A and B are shown apart, each in its own frame.
Chain A
Amino acid sequence: MSLLHLAIISPLLLALLVPIFYRYFRQIHTGWFLLPLPILLFIYFLQFISHTKNGEVITETAPWIPSFGVDFAVRIDGLGLLFALLITGIGSLVVLYSVYYLSKEHEKLNTFYIYLLLFMTAMLGVVLSDNLIVLYAFWELTSFSSFLLIGYWYHRERSRYGAQKSMIITVLGGLSMLGGILLLHIMTGTFNISEIILQSGDIVNHVLFIPAMLCFLLGAFTKSAQFPFHIWLPDAMEAPTPVSAYLHSATMVKAGIYLVARMTPVFAHDGIWIWLVAGFGIVTLFWGSFSAVKQTDLKGILAFSTVSQLGMIMSLLGIGAAALHYPQLDDSFYTVATTAAVFHLVNHATFKGSLFMVAGIIDHETGTRDIRRLGGLMNFMPITFTLAIIGTFSMAGIPPFNGFLSKEMFFTGMVRVLEMDIFNLETWGFLFPVIAWIASVFTFIYSMVLLFKTFTGKHQPDKLPKTPHEAPIGLLISPIILASLVIVFGFFPNILSHNIISPAMESILPGLLVEGQAFDVHIYFWHGFTVELFMTIGVIALGTLLYFTYPKWSRVYGIFTERFSLNRAYDSLIENSQTGSYNFTKTYMNGSIRTYLVYIFSFFVFILSVSLVAKNAFVYDTSNVSQIRIYEIIIVLIMAIASVTILFAKSRLTAIILLGAVGYSVALFFVVFRAPDLALTQLVIETVSVALFLLCFYHLPKKRHEERMSFKLTNLLISIAVGAVFTLIALSAHSSKFFEPISQYYVENTYEKAAGKNMVNVILVDFRGFDTLFEICVLGIAALGIYAMIKLRMTRGKEG
Chain B
Amino acid sequence: MKINDVILQTATKLVLFVIILFSIHLFFAGHYYPGGGFIGGLMTAAAIVLLLLAFDLKTVAKILPFDFKKVTAIGLLFAVGTGAGALLFDAPFLTHAFTDAYLPLLGKTSLHTAVLFDIGVYLVVIGVTLTIIQTIGESE
Contact = CB atoms under 8 A, between A and B. Distances in A.
Contacts of B93: 770
A764 B39 CA distance: 13
Nearest to A680: B39
Interface string A588-613: 00000000000000000000000000
A688 B94 contact: no
Contact of B34 (A677, A685, A786): A677
Interface residues of A, number: 34
A756 B114 CA distance: 10
A700 interface: no
B136 A688 contact: no
A758 interface: yes
Given A776-B124, A786-B136, A758 B69 contact: no
Interface string A750-783: 0000111110111011100110110011011011
A775 to B, nearest CB: 9
A755 B75 contact: no
A787 B132 CA distance: 7
Nearest to B110: A755
Contact of B36 (A761, A787, A790): A761
A681 interface: yes
B30 interface: yes
A758 B131 contact: no
Contact of B35 (A680, A776, A784): A680
B94 A757 contact: no
Interface in B67-99: 69, 72-73, 75-76, 79-80, 83, 93-94, 96, 98
Contacts of B34: 676-677, 680, 758, 760
B47 interface: no
Q: Which of B31, B110, B136 counts the most chain A CB atoms within 10 A? A: B31
Contacts of A782: 128, 132
Given A681-B42, A755-B98, A780 B128 contact: yes
Contact of B32 (A677, A756, A764, A783): A756
Interface in B120-139: 120-121, 124-125, 127-129, 131-132, 135-136, 139
Contacts of B30: 758, 761
Given A783-B131, A787-B131, A765 B36 contact: yes
Contact of B120 (A764, A776, A783): A776
B97 to A, nearest CB: 9
A20 interface: no
B60 interface: no
A701 B98 CA distance: 56
B46 A764 contact: no
B32 A757 contact: yes
Nearest to A675: B34
Contacts of B29: 758
B39 A776 contact: no
Contact of B96 (A754, A760, A780): A754
A773 B118 CA distance: 10
A765 B39 contact: no
Interface in A656-697: 676-677, 680-681, 684-685, 688, 695
B124 A684 contact: no
A772 B83 CA distance: 11
A764 B72 CA distance: 19
A784 B132 CA distance: 8
B31 A756 contact: yes
Given A681-B38, A684-B43, A783 B31 contact: no
* Chain B interface helix/strand/loop/mixed: helix
A677 B35 contact: yes
Contacts of A552: none
Contact of A779 (B36, B118, B125): B125
Contacts of B72: 779-780, 783-784
Contacts of B125: 776, 779
A766 B135 contact: no
Given A754-B114, A755-B110, A765 B37 contact: yes
Given A681-B38, A769-B117, A776 B75 contact: yes
A262 to B, nearest CB: 61
A773 B128 contact: no
B42 A765 contact: no
B102 interface: no
Given A765-B37, A776-B121, A783 B127 contact: yes
Nearest to B37: A765
Contact of B31 (A681, A761, A772): A761
A769 B96 CA distance: 10
A758 B94 contact: no
A787 B79 contact: no
Interface string B8-49: 000000000000000000100111111111110011001000
A758 B98 CA distance: 16
Nearest to B83: A773
Contact of B46 (A676, A684, A765): A684
Contacts of B26: 680
Contacts of B128: 779-780, 782-783
Given A756-B32, A758-B36, A695 B136 contact: yes
A770 B94 CA distance: 7
A563 interface: no
Contacts of A756: 31-32, 112, 114
Contacts of A684: 39, 42-43, 46
A765 B26 CA distance: 15
Contacts of A779: 72, 124-125, 128
A791 interface: yes
B35 A769 contact: no
Interface string B103-124: 0000000101010011011001
A688 B45 CA distance: 11
Contacts of A681: 38-39, 42
B76 A776 contact: yes
A130 B34 CA distance: 76
A783 B112 contact: no
A730 B70 CA distance: 43
Given A684-B46, A770-B94, A786 B37 contact: no
A757 B69 contact: no
B75 A766 contact: no
Interface in A193-226: none
Contacts of B135: 786-787, 790-791
B43 to A, nearest CB: 7
Contacts of B129: 688
B83 to A, nearest CB: 7
Contacts of B73: 780
A790 B135 CA distance: 7
30 contacts: A677-B35, A681-B42, A684-B42, A688-B42, A754-B96, A755-B98, A756-B32, A757-B33, A758-B31, A758-B33, A760-B36, A762-B114, A765-B118, A769-B83, A770-B94, A776-B75, A776-B76, A776-B79, A776-B120, A776-B125, A779-B124, A779-B125, A779-B128, A780-B76, A782-B128, A783-B72, A783-B127, A783-B128, A786-B136, A787-B135
Query: Which 8 residue pairs across A and B have the least CB separation, nearest first?
Result: A676-B34, A783-B128, A756-B31, A757-B32, A776-B124, A783-B131, A755-B98, A761-B36
Given A761-B31, A765-B118, A790-B136, 15 more contacts: A680-B26, A684-B43, A754-B98, A764-B38, A765-B36, A765-B121, A769-B83, A770-B94, A779-B124, A779-B128, A780-B72, A783-B131, A784-B131, A786-B135, A791-B135
